[in-house]
Amino acid sequence: MVTRKVGKYQVGRTVGEGTFAKVKFAQNTETGESVAMKILAKSTILKHRMVDQIRREISIMKIVRHPNIVRLHEVLASRTKIYIILEFVAGGELFDKIVHQGRLSENESRKYFQQLIDAVSHCHGKGVYHRDLKPENLLLDVYGNLKVSDFGLSALPQQGVELLHTTCGTPNYVAPEVLSQRGYDGAAADIWSCGVILYVIMAGHLPFEETDLPSLYKKINAADFSCPYWFSPSAKLLIENILDPNPTTRIKIDGIKKHPWFRQNYVPVRHREAEEVNLDDIRIAFEGIEDQYVTEQSLGKEGGPLMMNAFEMITLSQGLNLSVLFDRGQDYVKRQTRFVSREPPKVITSSIEAVAEQMGLKVHSRNYKMRLQGVTANKAGQFAVVLEVYEVAPALFMVDVRKAAGDTLQYHKFYKNFCAKLEDIIWRPAEGMANSSLLRTVSC
């Protein structure tokens, strides 16, 4: 079985995957601290001319240190890769919580919105605009506190330039002035996205949702939405002030913080002003100083699934709360899910391939890692799922499944259908064994 080590970090399972980077769980072997390791291939960065963008993302995360923003610890480099070491946020995405509960109470929504505004206000105070704020980029820590992540689309305006011009972000959350492809104020655009997020977590659905983009853009440009009956008058008024299609009259951060609905039970976050930012590790990573490279090691024999250690098994649960592993009643489908099998790894992979082909998906397989690809339900883009097989005990294997591309709700439907077709290989321990065994994990 193979394990990997990068410098002082023991590298574990993949917890996220995008077009240009993978994010893996890792553990600092010196301190025992859990971290998220974002891995980028230097060849990919160069091929797509993304050196400046990646360097900017790293610099931004060092500039905007705040309790409600995912913390960047350090940056490492090998001869072929760059490793961004980030705070590991164990509570999952706010999006998952919304899917599970349908909608959040007004008080709970207010708490998350207050933390979001605190984080966004801090960013704007540093001249940083996120530009892709949405529930999937908002994580929850073990205490249920919100953490803003994914600054890949963030912008720092050039000196002397006040307006941004790049159209980016997720359409349902994007401000109308951004869609118009004219210059826009990054702060006002972020505030609009915050308003959509507040609406979503209180309503359980989007304010602007259409099957085709022209109709969606028309609704956004007209701010054509209505609030559900359960919104309090004060919350409704605040959302209407935020979702103002005119960015010049849209409420500002200061106005939000003074609003009576926002101020209820509001306790401003306390934090130390960030220490002096040291960018030496970024310079080393991008300028390639060879004597500063970390070593990459593969430990063990090739040819089998990765071995998952006990510590990593525990961190699969949200917030180290083992009941999420033990209690089937708490299980719900998220963008990353898993099941257990006692079948040999090759039987597992061949069964997955057969089911994927039945479902009309293309299969790419390599070393017990598979990518299933198709088109999204509305045929607007790619739908992709990545699976990895891990050995968690002798003759016991866990299949980690995660969405790589496409709509998260579509992934929920796919996963349930997928598990139903794999019923023959999924192992569920007898109730007595499940209650007594150390190894209990989430399954379909």
Give the 3-state secondary structure of residue 139.
strand
Which segments within 102-259 are labelled E, that is strand?
138-140, 146-148
Q: Dihedral sign for Cα 94, 97, 101, 105, please.
A: negative
Q: Are strands 336-341 and 362-366 parallel, antiparallel or unpaired?
A: unpaired
Hey, is 292 helix, strand or coil? helix
Catalytic residue among 96, 118, 132, 141: 132
- Listed as own residue / partner, the contacts of 408-411 with beta carbons closer than 8 Å and 24 or more positions apart are 408/95, 408/99, 408/136, 408/335, 409/99, 410/376, 410/377, 410/383, 411/333, 411/335, 411/383, 411/385
CB of 67 within 8 A of CB of 47?
Answer: no
| CB crowding 262-279: b at 16 or more within 10 Å, else e | beeeeeeeeeeeeeeeee
Overall residue count recorded for the chain in this entry: 444
Beta carbons within 8 Å of 226's beta carbon, 6+ residues apart:
none
Residues 398 and 396: their CA atoms lie apart, in Å, by 7
Distance CA 390, CA 305 (A): 5
Strand partners, 180: none
* CA–CA gap between residue 13 and residue 174 (Å, rounded): 32
User: Using CA atoms, how far apart are residues 219 and 213, in angstroms rounded to an integer?
Assistant: 10
Cα Rg of the chain, angstroms:
22
Task: At 126, give phi and psi (nearest 5°).
Answer: -95, 5
* Residue 305 near residue 399, CB atoms below 8 Å: no
Work out the number of other CB atoms within 10 angstroms of the CB of residue 411: 24
Q: Tell me, yes or no, if 331 is annotated catalytic.
A: no
Whether the CB-CB separation of 425 and 389 falls below 8 Å is answered with no
Taking the C-alpha atoms of residue 128 and residue 134, their distance in angstroms, rounded to an integer, is: 17
Which residue type sits at 122?
Answer: H
Torsion, CA 231, CA 232, CA 237, CA 238, rounded to 10 = -80
Question: Are the beta carbons of 253 and 120 closer than 8 angstroms?
Answer: yes
Pairing status of strand 382-393 against strand 306-307: parallel
To the question of whether residue 416 is assigned a binding role by annotation, the answer is no
Instruction: List the binding residues.
Output: 47
List residues forming the annotated binding site for ATP.
47
Residues annotated as part of the active site: 132
